[in-house]
Amino acid sequence: MLSSKKAYYAIIPADVRYHQNLCPNAKLMYGEITALCNQEGYCWATNRYFSELYDVTTGTASKWISALREEGFIETEDISADAHTIRHIRILGGNPFPSAKKKSAPRGRPRKSTSPELIEKAKEVLVHWNSKPGLIVHRESYIEKGRSSTNKYTKILGDLLETESVESIKDTIDNYNDVVSSPIYFWNYKYTLADFLFRGYEKFKDRQVALGNYLKNGNSRLDAEPEYGTGI
């Protein structure tokens, strides 16, 4: 049913190719996503597009997308357009194609080594994240993969730790969990941990502002608390 297939070349880096928790077709899908990102800076393809491309069900295509997101390789965002919603998929850590319309992440900063201290802090943040009932749970491999210098989660966390403490990051995770888990708030988007640190952190850093911004029914009370409180 697909009228044409994109001629852009695909990139599948080593940490995707050899990842033990990804099935072969999920790795192949990652390459297709990079090819589609070369056109607009993001991938617009739906689950139906991928299901027809690989001759699988939309449910199977959705599982592959979820696996890539949970392992920290991609991020997804739902964009409202007229009367429908369009999903944008982006490669986490910057678009691999410098010619894409959306600029990739700055490359001027020298790469940091993944120190044992950073790994320990990454473990502490991950354990705290996984203890929250409303958030996506990540496997231990999320940290094991962090031992690679190309790991997205540890790179993003390392940058954030230049200005933030582990405790402030954990407090911000609490704020996000309280909002996403309570019915009195309209925000229900489930970030992965790497995605949250990269795109969602500033939205929930200030607790009172976050609680006020996302109340349902246009209520802007800044003193509102979720019904089960922080850290429960």
Tens of pLDDT along the chain (232 residues) come to: 444 455 567 888 888 888 888 999 999 999 999 888 876 678 888 999 999 988 999 999 999 999 998 888 888 887 766 667 788 888 875 445 444 444 444 434 444 446 788 888 988 999 999 999 889 888 766 665 544 444 678 888 888 998 999 999 999 999 999 998 888 988 888 888 888 898 889 889 999 888 888 888 655 443 344 433 333 2
pTM of the model: 0.51
- Domains, in order of start, for the chain: 14-91 (1.10.10.10), 116-218 (no CATH)
Single out the residue of 78, 77, 75, 68 nearest to residue 31, CA to CA: 68
DSSP E strands: which ranges in 19-73?
Answer: none
Report which of 199, 202, 201 is spatially closest to residue 92, judged by C-alpha positions: 199
3-state helix, strand, coil in the chain (%, to 5): 50, 10, 45
